[in-house]
Amino acid sequence: MGSNQFDAATGPLITVPELITDYFPKMHPPASTETLVQQLQWRYATKAFDPAKKISASDWAALEQALILTPTSYGFQPYRFVVVTDPATKEKLVPHSWNQKQPADASHFVIFAAMETVREEDVDHYMARVAEVRGVPVESLAGFKKALAGDILHGPRSKWQHEWATRQTYIALGNFMTSAALIGVDTCPMEGIDPVKFDEILNLSSTDYRTAVACAAGYRSASCKYSAVPKVRYPASELVIHI
């Protein structure tokens, strides 16, 4: 292996040829711009799911990878994804979702749980994973660890770790919904939930993670009237500022 380089944001980097051959899969032809926009136009916050239609194992495996591959600050992934498919558990969540039926009727119901407190051992666990995946000594990550810990453990963000972690869950939420739309799976993001009750039902209360937001995934019901309602968005001239 060639000499390592260091990047404060991502840790040690190996030489370019090794990066290309060892870390990055070959790029497949990207989705067309037409497909991207068409699928984003097609998607909507699905209010009524068809409980008889289930996401296939192969499609779910891809969506689960989309969750895992979501970019996060420092690549730290300060969250967990609780995927609920058990019918009884999904029904228990309905009264704590403003009695909305999406949790029960969707094929999969995903809870995005943010880390409440980041500790030194969490940083060490992440450093060990980086060393394992990149094939470098954990000692070579000392500078990366110092940068991360100096920010999240000891810096200004140490006072709002849970808020920082919660923001990361929303990156995952957006990535999940876009990925789902690209393969024809409907979703509905849900903030209208009782996080404390969710934590109790999902046994999160005794962990370091707390419910931040949820998302139902499956297939729209033919009776869902909102599927035919025009999508309302401001024009680009009002939303996008070019400098």
Query: Coil, strand or helix: which one is 205?
Result: coil
CA dihedral 135, 139, 141, 146 (to 10 degrees): 160
Say if CB 211 and CB 202 are below 8 A apart.
Answer: yes
Q: Which domains are delineated in the chain?
A: 5-239 (3.40.109.10)
* Model pLDDT for residues 112-155, shown as the tens digit of each residue: 999 999 999 999 999 999 999 999 999 999 999 999 999 999 99
* Model pLDDT for residues 34-45, shown as the tens digit of each residue: 999 999 999 999
pLDDT at 4 over 80: no
| pLDDT given for residue 33 in this prediction | 97
Average pLDDT over residues 81-92: 98
pLDDT at 219 over 80: yes
Q: Beta strand 108-115 with 186-190: parallel, antiparallel or unpaired?
A: unpaired
